[in-house]
Amino acid sequence: MSLDDPIASLLPDTLALPAEEPPLHLRHLVTHTSGLPRIPDGFRPANPQNPYADYDVPKLYSYLEGYVLNSPPGERYAYSNLGVGLLGHLLCRARALPNYEELLVSRVCRPLGLSDTRVVPEDAARARLAAASGPNNVPLCAWDLDALAGAGAIRSTTGDLLRFAAAEIDPDATPLRRALRRSHERLFSLGADGSAVAYGWHVGKGGRTLWHNGQTGGFHALLLIAPAERAAVAILASSASGKIDEIGTKILKEIVPEQE
């Protein structure tokens, strides 16, 4: 596979995709420069408290046959849950795997020893799942993702996130050394300050950090890595609070002074 493979090459031939010029490539999904909206147009979940649960493959394919981009592919960055969810689906098809769970476990978790990272936790882990909560600890529903599982279906622990961070800091100590090293390559610049998008990672100002965050209805996750300083911060919170990113950044600055 190549970053420059068109998405059409990984979808069923029966789909009549819009004739985009230039066409959408995997590169555009990886870097959030596809022009696709953050969520699909006409997104009407049966249960707004669990919005992605009923967004299945037929709905995704129906959308793809009539999508309209917000900007030409490769022109500008705009984070898209739809785009990264579609990427996960395409990678499953490329490997002839039935679902994102199989892709995640076979290609990442098993090689790196991430036993607590799954889409559907094993029975022994289910009792340890944190309860989703909103402001003032109001109970919320944990989200389930179907066709767009690549956009945020993973359940994990801070221990596994730090194991993953250690692998990113010292790739040569892992069986995924080539993939991990390549994942740091900057693919799309976000500004003169050195910030950029790599393979899913966001590269911070000055190029010193790799980071990604995520928020669903009742949870917030953050992983910050400073590879050169061999430092990382992982935070998982059972509350959908944007304050988590601020807290994590402050912690990393304490560990690595003058960190951008």
DSSP readout, 33-101?
-S---SS-TT---S-TTSTTTT--HHHHHHHHTS---SS-TTS-----HHHHHHHHHHHHHHTT-SSHH
Tell whether 143 is covered by a domain.
Answer: no
User: Of 119, 143, 165, which residue is a domain's last?
Assistant: 119
- Residue 211, helix vs strand vs coil: strand
| Residue-level pLDDT at 135 | 79
Q: What is the DSSP letter of 24?
A: P
How is residue 124 written in tokens?
């022994």
pLDDT at 21 over 80: no
Mean pLDDT of the chain: 93
Domain count, the chain: 2
Residues 112 and 172 in one domain: no
Phi, psi of 192 (to 5 degrees): -70, -10
| Residue-level pLDDT at 258 | 67
Phi, psi of 85 (to 5 degrees): -65, -40
Label residues 96-110 b or e (16+ Cβ within 10 Å = b).
ebebbbebbbeebbe
Q: Are 230 and 205 in contact (CB under 8 A)?
A: no
How is residue 232 written in tokens?
């990382």
Tell whether 180 is covered by a domain.
Answer: yes
Tell whether 152 is covered by a domain.
Answer: no
User: Of 64, 99, 119, which residue is a domain's last?
Assistant: 119
| Residue-level pLDDT at 201 | 97
Instruction: Specify the CATH number for the domain of residue 20.
Output: 3.40.710.10
CA 235 to CA 162: how far, in whole Å?
Answer: 10
195 vs 121: which has the higher pLDDT? 195
pLDDT, tens digit, for every residue of 200-259? Answer: 999 999 899 999 999 998 999 999 999 999 999 999 999 877 789 999 999 999 988 764
User: Of 119, 142, 177, which residue is a domain's last?
Assistant: 119
Residues 113 and 201 in one domain: no
Residues 87 and 179 in one domain: no
Whole domain around residue 210: which residue ranges?
A: 157-260
Tell whether 147 is covered by a domain.
Answer: no
Q: Are 227 and 210 in contact (CB under 8 A)?
A: yes
Q: Measure CA 18 to chain center.
A: 25
